[in-house]
Amino acid sequence: MTYDWASLRDRPAVVEERFPREVLTPLMMHGARRSQAESRPPSFKGVFRSWWRWRSRRLAGW
Protein backbone atom coordinates (compact mmCIF):
# COMPACT_ATOMS: atom_id res chain seq x y z
CA MET A 1 0.00 0.00 0.00
CA THR A 2 1.34 3.42 -0.88
CA TYR A 3 0.55 6.68 0.85
CA ASP A 4 0.36 10.17 -0.58
CA TRP A 5 2.61 11.80 2.04
CA ALA A 6 2.24 15.28 0.52
CA SER A 7 -1.52 15.31 1.16
CA LEU A 8 -1.00 14.07 4.72
CA ARG A 9 1.44 16.90 5.39
CA ASP A 10 -1.20 19.49 4.47
CA ARG A 11 -3.85 18.14 6.86
CA PRO A 12 -4.01 19.21 10.52
CA ALA A 13 -2.74 16.69 13.09
CA VAL A 14 -5.78 17.14 15.34
CA VAL A 15 -9.32 17.34 14.07
CA GLU A 16 -12.05 18.73 16.32
CA GLU A 17 -15.53 17.28 15.87
CA ARG A 18 -18.71 18.12 17.73
CA PHE A 19 -21.68 15.82 18.13
CA PRO A 20 -25.12 16.65 19.53
CA ARG A 21 -25.97 14.54 22.59
CA GLU A 22 -28.56 14.18 25.30
CA VAL A 23 -27.91 13.16 28.90
CA LEU A 24 -30.31 10.45 30.05
CA THR A 25 -28.97 9.86 33.56
CA PRO A 26 -27.85 12.32 36.23
CA LEU A 27 -24.22 13.34 35.92
CA MET A 28 -23.79 14.40 39.53
CA MET A 29 -25.14 12.89 42.71
CA HIS A 30 -25.73 14.57 46.01
CA GLY A 31 -26.26 13.43 49.54
CA ALA A 32 -27.98 15.23 52.40
CA ARG A 33 -26.46 18.57 51.35
CA ARG A 34 -27.86 19.32 47.90
CA SER A 35 -25.46 22.22 47.36
CA GLN A 36 -22.39 19.96 47.43
CA ALA A 37 -21.72 17.39 44.68
CA GLU A 38 -20.82 13.91 45.84
CA SER A 39 -19.00 11.13 44.01
CA ARG A 40 -19.70 7.61 45.20
CA PRO A 41 -17.35 4.70 44.55
CA PRO A 42 -18.81 1.49 43.06
CA SER A 43 -20.00 -1.07 45.56
CA PHE A 44 -17.86 -4.10 46.31
CA LYS A 45 -20.69 -6.38 45.18
CA GLY A 46 -20.89 -4.66 41.78
CA VAL A 47 -17.12 -4.74 41.27
CA PHE A 48 -16.95 -8.40 42.27
CA ARG A 49 -19.86 -9.30 39.96
CA SER A 50 -18.13 -7.58 37.03
CA TRP A 51 -14.86 -9.34 37.80
CA TRP A 52 -16.62 -12.72 38.16
CA ARG A 53 -18.34 -12.35 34.76
CA TRP A 54 -15.04 -11.42 33.11
CA ARG A 55 -13.21 -14.31 34.79
CA SER A 56 -15.85 -16.93 34.00
CA ARG A 57 -15.82 -15.91 30.32
CA ARG A 58 -12.04 -16.23 30.22
CA LEU A 59 -12.22 -19.72 31.76
CA ALA A 60 -14.95 -20.76 29.30
CA GLY A 61 -12.75 -19.63 26.40
CA TRP A 62 -14.89 -16.75 25.13
* pLDDT confidence of residue 1: 63
Task: Say yes or no to pLDDT of 2 above 80.
Answer: no
pTM given for the model: 0.34
* pLDDT confidence of residue 62: 65
Whether 28 and 37 have beta carbons less than 8 Å apart is answered as: yes
Whether 45 and 53 have beta carbons less than 8 Å apart is answered as: no
**10-58 residue pLDDT tens:** 777 788 889 898 877 766 666 777 777 777 777 888 888 888 888 888 7
